[in-house]
Chain A
């Protein structure tokens, strides 16, 4: 069937909620097949969790570039730019939230609210004139999409209006306001992904109290060459080089008081980070405290490589974290294999915190009349396929539960093929 014919038979677009790995994949696959797609994300740039990662397992490629799809071959070709810029069937709306969901399956009424678009991404050339004049303008990431600077009204200063006047392409409008649009869509794809739990409530680790206690995704940001420290492994408290680092697994995961499920990918990305630190950041000691290491499937190699790279493993739990005046942390831990208590001093404590559904998921599940599985979207029929959540409602990637990139992409393609089959 030719793409043109599919297009002629369709009246309503498909709404894809969330522009992370899964959402982008669905949008691009559908758009390439001639289906008009509205892709919304509440953030100012697409990419989701991927935007803050340095390398992605299982390929260890830079996360901004991975093999996209059949019509866009080439492993190092940037998915975001190539697809989102040259595919007219994608209507990308960042900084946008869903205000209301009404209507019937096959014809949903959606009201979208888009925040003020101070900078027009179609005009912005990222020349840097405004960022030099005012701190309110910044570039989120060199790989951001839309390719445009962003304006933070809370940081507005005298230079802001000057920048507005002097912008060579006239892309800046400081008086921009929020806009609301209503549209009818035939199908909804939930690709809202996961977020990392902030383990403030788990007293013994002192997260939120001591600045040198961070989570794995915060560590990923630190290791990212595009991040605030340009990839140097430094302490948040004073920017000093990290010499010793301790990771703790299962923080809030497999814990009836927080999230009863295993977050599935934290062991793998914790070890990925441990390997990056051991191999690319010389002189840093890494220890991992775990209760079970679950590098499922083909990811066992990360565990083996970590042992080879000299990462220390302790089966046990942390007893106590005591901050010292020099910014280091004294950590008492119990080793359940040796039946001994150990004390160590580290610069950085990294918590592999549970991965939970994105904020607003419960409300969305309720409004669409779906089933919840520990807060994530549950498949309508487990025996059939995991990506169909309800009538004309699909879910993929982190919206179904913690997922790695290949799984998210596979599920996203399954959603695209399901929607295309419906329309034949």
Chain B
């Protein structure tokens, strides 16, 4: 009879639980203290927001899960998620929420928090940069279509100077503008 060797490997775990003590318990309070977060704690996870969301089907984290995550203090996961940026801001979730949780507005707050940490998706950053530098999002180019319609090559009287100046001093300008 061969002697059975004693196992020295750690036992196999079936679940990989999230350690609650490692979560940021202040995150809930942080969102809650913002004007939009007043009713955050009223969420009872009915999932009406997710049923209402036109695009959550393709999301890893559904709207009601994002709210749960905020309540649990999963700050890192929420602010690093693509979903907060994918939100169409159609406000359907906020409109239908039976407890008046301002889901869409809270996602806006999350975007702002993520941006302050420098987490801005490249496409959004590109748009912001355009806005800061040009003072407008869509720069009109002189092209044959305008010519055919008898329009001037550029928008007459368009002044972007003030907008540029304002934005330079704003947070958007500081984060996305060119370093002077």
Contacts and interface: CB of A to CB of B under 8 A. Distances in A.
A332 to B, nearest CB: 8
A179 interface: no
B160 interface: no
A210 interface: no
B47 A317 contact: yes
A80 B47 CA distance: 45
A114 B98 CA distance: 41
B98 A318 contact: no
A359 to B, nearest CB: 24
A317 B100 contact: no
B47 A316 contact: yes
Contacts of B57: 341
A325 interface: no
B50 interface: yes
A22 to B, nearest CB: 29
Interface in A158-203: none
A318 B100 CA distance: 18
B48 interface: yes
B100 A334 contact: no
Contacts of B99: 255-256
Interface string A236-251: 0000000000000010
Nearest to A254: B98
A339 B65 CA distance: 10
Contacts of B127: none
B46 A204 contact: no
Contact of B45 (A318, A336, A339): A336
B98 A255 contact: yes
Contacts of B47: 291, 315-317, 334, 336
Interface residues of B, number: 18
A101 B100 CA distance: 39
Contacts of B115: none
Interface in B37-94: 42, 44-48, 50-52, 56-57, 62, 64-65
Given A257-B100, A291-B46, A204 B64 contact: no
Nearest to A319: B51
A175 to B, nearest CB: 52
Nearest to A249: B46
Nearest to B59: A339
Interface in B127-171: none
B96 interface: yes
A318 B52 CA distance: 8
A317 B46 contact: yes
A317 B56 CA distance: 14
Contact of B96 (A204, A316, A336, A339): A204
Contacts of A318: 51
A352 to B, nearest CB: 14
Contact of A316 (B44, B51, B56): B51
13 contacts: A254-B44, A255-B98, A256-B98, A257-B100, A291-B46, A292-B44, A292-B46, A316-B47, A316-B51, A317-B52, A334-B47, A334-B56, A336-B64
Given A204-B96, A250-B98, 11 more contacts: A256-B99, A256-B100, A291-B44, A292-B46, A316-B47, A317-B48, A318-B51, A334-B50, A336-B62, A336-B64, A339-B65
Interface of B: 42, 44-48, 50-52, 56-57, 62, 64-65, 96, 98-100
